[in-house]
Structure 1
Amino acid sequence: MVARQQLPTHDSWFAPFSIDLVLKVFYVTFLHPFVAWMVVLCFRAEHMAWDAMPLRVSVAYAALVSAGWMLAAIDRRIALGPPRNVDSSDQVIVITGGASGLGLLIAEVYGMRGASVAVLDVKEMADSEARGVAFYRCDVSDKAQVIQAAVDIERDLGSPTVLINNAAIVNGKRLLDLDYDDIDRALSTNLASHFYTLKAFLPGIARSKLGGTIVTITSVLGELGAAQLSDYAASKAGVSALHRSLAAELRTSHPNICTVLVTLGQLSTPLFHGVQTPSSFFAPVVEPIDVAKDVISAIDNGRAESIGMPLYARWVGWYHVLPQSLQKVARWASGVDTAMATFVGRKAAADTASASKKGPAVKLD
C-alpha cells in the first residue's frame, strides 16, 4: 500500500492583500503631495474659479497632505539626526546569523554590489557560493569566538563600517518546559551576543572617518511578550533597550555612527516555521525581501532609522496605553498567546525539506 502524501498548502490569490499594501498604495496616490496638487491643477485647467467649492476643498486637502509630509520630515530629522556620508565602494559589512533568511539576503545583495561582506554563523551558508561573501564560522554566544572573528575580519577585509546584529534562536517552549541550558542558550544568542559583537566591532567602526551604521533586528514580542516565548521575548526586550541606550551614547560620542532599529512582526523565515498568522490582512507575514530593502536603503543613505513591519509593529508602543481589559481583548483577538501551538521550528523545517527532496515514502504491506 502506498502511503498517502500530504500536499503542500498554498495561500489564496488574495493573501498578499493586507492593510500594509493598502497604505502603501495610499502613500503614493491620495496621500502624496504631488498627486494632491495635481488635482488642484486639473481643476484650474478647466478654468474653475478659485472660490468654487471643489477647488477650495482640493487646495485645503493638498495643503494638509503637504503639511503632513513636511512635519514627518522635520520629526525624522529631529529624532534621528542628519544622515552621514556613505562611500558605497568601501563598505565592510558584518552580519551575524547571515547563513540563511534575512541575513543571507542582505549579504548577497551587498556581495553582488562589490562590498566586503562577512557572515558570522554556526551553520554553513544556505548558498555556499554567494558572490563576495566571506563566511566565518562563529558562535556569537561565545565571546572568545566573536573576538577572534573580529581579528580575522580586520585582517582579511579591513575595518568594518556596518554591523548587522541578526542572529537569533527560538526554543518555543513554555517556561516550565525550558531547561537551564535552553535559557542560557536563548539569552546568550539573542541578547548577550549583541554586547559581544558591539564590543568587538564598534571600536573599528568608530575609527572610520566616515563613521558607520549599527543595525539591530528585534521583535514586537519584546514589547508584547507571548506564551511559549518567555525567553525569546525577554531577550528581544533587552535588545531593544540596549539599542536605544547605545543610540543615546553614540549621539554624543560618535555622531557619525548611525543606528537602525528594525522591529518585526512574524517574518517568513524558518525561525518561526509552522506558526500561522491570525489575520493575513491586519497581521501579514513579513517577507525578508521587504525588510532587506528598507535596511539596505537606510545603510546606503547613511540614515538613522526606526523601521517597523508590518503596520502594527510601528504602533505597538500604544498597546501599553490601553486599559488592561482592552489589552486582554487585543491579545485574544490577535491570537498572540496561541500562535505557537503550531510551531515546528527551524530544525524540523529543515528535516521536512530534506525528506521532501528524497520523495514520498512508500510503504508496502
Structure 2
Amino acid sequence: MLLFPIQMFYHIVRAGLLSLLPSSKKDLSKEVVLITGGGRGIGRHLAKEFAKQGAKKVILWGRTEKCLKETAEEISLSGSECCYFVCDVANREEVYKQAKVVREKVGDVTILVNNAAVVHGKSLMDSDDDALLKTQHINTLGQFWTTKAFLPRMLELQHGHVVCINSILSQSPIPGAIDYCTSKASSLAFMESLTLGLLYCPGVSCTTVLPFHTNTEMFRGMRVRFPQLFPPLKPEIVAQKTVDAIRTDKAFLYLPWTMHALVILKR
C-alpha cells in the first residue's frame, strides 16, 4: 500500500518528462513488414511509407490480386523490395498456410500491421446476417489468426511489433455502422489486452492507431455533421503518422489529436 502511490508518482513524472523530450526513432532497415489489406486505401499508403522510410522488405496480403500486384509493382519501381500473397484473413487455415509460405520464401516477419477491414454501413435490421459475420471475421477474428501466426517467432527473436489500424469509432460509435463499430471495439479490447500482456516481453511492442474518418474508398459517401471542424483525414497522413508512431514505440495514436477530447466528452 505504501509502495503503490510511490510507483504511480514515479511513472507519471517519468511519462511527463519523456513526452517533453524528442523521441529517438528506431531504424527500419532490417525490418520485414507484413501489411494486411495492403492493396488499397490506408494499406497501400502504409506500404509506400514503410518503403520510403527504409524498411528492408514489404509484404502485402489481401483478397484482390489486381490491387496487390499494382501496389507491389509501384513500390518495387521505387527501389524497395516488395512482394504479395493473396490471403483472406477471415480464413484461419489460409492465414496459417500463407504465414508458413511467407517464412519459407521471405523470412521472419518483424512488423505485423493488421489493417484489413470492411464496413457495410447499415443498421442492424437492414444488415444481412452473412455480411455481419463477415465484418466480425475480418475486422476482429482476423487479428487473432495473424497475431497467433507471427507473434511466437517475434517472442523467440525478442524483436517485433504488432500494429492495429483501428478507428475512433471503437470508442465513440455512430448509428448506421453497427457492424463496424462493434468489430472495432472488439479489436481495441484485443489490442489493449495484448499490449498489457507484452509489457514485460523484451523487444516486442504494440501500436494501436485510432483515426477519425479517412478519405478512402471504404468510407466513400459518409457524411460528417461538422465537416469544417472535422475534415476527413488523408490516408497518406495516417500512414506517415502510423510509421512514425511505430518507430517511436508509441502504444496508442489518436488522429487527429483532437479525438482525445471527443473520447473524454463522450464519457
Structure-1 residue corresponding to 2:61 = 120
C-alpha change, 1:216 and 1:114, in structure 2 (3 Å) is: closer
Q: What amino acid is aligned across from residue 182 of structure 2 in structure 1? A: A
Aligned-pair identity in percent equals: 27
Q: CA deviation at 1:170?
A: 0.7
Residue 318 (structure 1) shift: 0.9
Q: Is the 8 A contact 2:49 2:240 kept in 1?
A: no
TM-score relative to the length of structure 2: 0.84
How far apart are the structure 1 equivalents of 2:14 and 2:216?
Answer: 33
Are 2:208 and 1:261 aligned?
Answer: yes
Deviations 1:140-182 (A, max 9, x none): 0001111011101111121111011101001111111112111
Residue aligned with 1:89, SS? coil
Find out whether 1:97 has 2:46 as its counterpart.
Answer: no
Q: Distance in 1 between matches of 2:25 and 2:238?
A: 22
Please tell me whether residue 218 in structure 1 is matched to residue 166 in structure 2: yes
Partner of 1:250: 198
Aligned match of 1:172? 121
1:184 aligns with 2:128: no
1:102-181 paired onto structure 2 within 5 Å = 102-112=42-52, 113=54, 115-124=56-65, 125=68, 126-130=70-74, 131=76, 132-181=81-130
Shift of 1:274: 1.2
> CA deviation digits over 1:204-224, x for unaligned, max 9?
222224x12111111111112
Structure 2: runs of 5+ lacking an equivalent = 1-11
Equivalences, count:
244
Task: Pick the aligned partner of 1:280 from 222, 227, 231.
Answer: 227
Task: Tell whether 2:179 aligns with 1:231.
Answer: yes
What amino acid sits opposite 2:73 in the alignment? E
CA contact (8 A) 2:25 2:247 kept: no
CA distance in 1, matches of 2:180, 2:34: 23
Alpha-carbon RMSD:
2.2
Counterpart contact for 1:161–1:208, Cα < 8 Å: no
Q: Deviations over 1:332-356 (max 9, x none)?
A: xxxxxxxxxxxxxxxxxxxxxxxxx
Q: How far has the Cα of 1:128 moved from its partner?
A: 4.6
Sort the Cα spacing of 1:264 and 1:87 in 2 relative to 1 into closer, same or farther, 3 A.
closer
Query: How far did 1:317 drift?
Result: 2.6
SS across alignment from 2:261: helix
Work out whether 1:310 is the aligned partner of 2:256. Answer: yes
Counterpart for residue 20 of structure 1: none
- State how far apart, in whole Å, the 2-side matches of 1:96 and 1:306 are: 19
> Whole-Å Cα distance in 1 between the matches of residues 91 and 17 of structure 2?
37
Could you tell me whether the CA contact under 8 Å between 2:136 and 2:183 is conserved in 1?
yes
- The amino acid that maps onto 1:129 is E
The letter of the residue matching 2:173 is: G
Q: Which has the larger radius of gyration?
A: 1
Residue in 1 that maps onto 2:238: 291
Task: Give the conservation status (yes or no) of the 8 Å contact 2:34–2:112.
Answer: yes
- Render the CA deviation track for 1:223-248: whole Å, top value 9, x for unaligned: 12222211100000001111000001
Q: How does 1:323-362 map to 2 (within 5 A)?
A: none
The gaps in structure 1 that reach 5 residues or longer are 1-70, 322-365
- Closer/same/farther in 2, CA of residues 72 and 178 from structure 1, 3 Å limit: farther
User: Where do residues 18-29 of structure 1 align in structure 2 (5 Å cutoff)?
Assistant: none
**Contact 1:283–1:312 at 8 Å: present in 2 too?**
no
1:307-343 Cα distance to aligned partner (Å, 9 max, x none): 111234223331343xxxxxxxxxxxxxxxxxxxxxx
Q: Counterpart of 2:190 in structure 1: which amino acid?
A: L
Aligned-pair CA distance for 1:296: 1.3
Given that residues 172 and 263 in structure 2 are in contact (C-alpha distance below 8 angstroms), is that contact kept between their aligned partners in structure 1?
no
